[in-house]
């Protein structure tokens, strides 16, 4: 029997818990830096309650799929295992095991 597929919803709440912005894989990426800057600006004007587009969020890849930034360094260590969402959504029992920025959505 197939195991249940755990899916992480793409929500603002989950994006605030994501620790991808602290990850060594993204640290040296100018593309990610630019998105972080824009995301911060967007958070400031969030009264409208609108959810950002997945492309604009430099994280939560377990929900949104592989990163659009091509300059990330996936030879560095993924830190998803330290993320609060890792336990909430039992990501250690799913696929892929971290590196969602490279390998796509958690299933």
Q: How far is the CB of 6 from ligand SF4 (least distance, A)?
A: 11
Instruction: Return the SS3 of 106.
Output: coil
Strands (E), 44-100: none
Which C-beta is closer to ligand SF4: that of 46 or that of 81? 81
Residues that bind ligand SF4 (CB under 6 A): 18-20, 23, 25-26, 59-62, 78-80, 83, 85-86, 91, 98-101
Q: Which DSSP letter does residue 51 get?
A: P
89: left (phi over 0), alpha (psi -120 to 50) or beta: alpha
Q: How far is the CB of 1 from ligand SF4 (least distance, A)?
A: 26
């Amino acid at each position: 029997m197939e195991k249940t597929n755990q899916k992480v919803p793409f929500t603002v709440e989950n994006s605030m818990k994501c620790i991808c912005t602290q990850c060594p894989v993204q640290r040296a990426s100018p593309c990610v830096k630019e998105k972080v800057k824009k995301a911060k600006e967007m958070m400031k004007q969030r009264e409208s309650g609108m959810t950002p587009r997945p492309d604009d969020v430099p994280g939560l890849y377990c929900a949104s799929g592989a990163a659009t930034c091509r300059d990330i360094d996936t030879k560095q260590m993924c830190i998803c295992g330290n993320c609060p969402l890792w336990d909430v959504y039992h990501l250690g029992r799913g696929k892929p095991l971290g590196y969602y920025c490279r390998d796509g959505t958690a299933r």
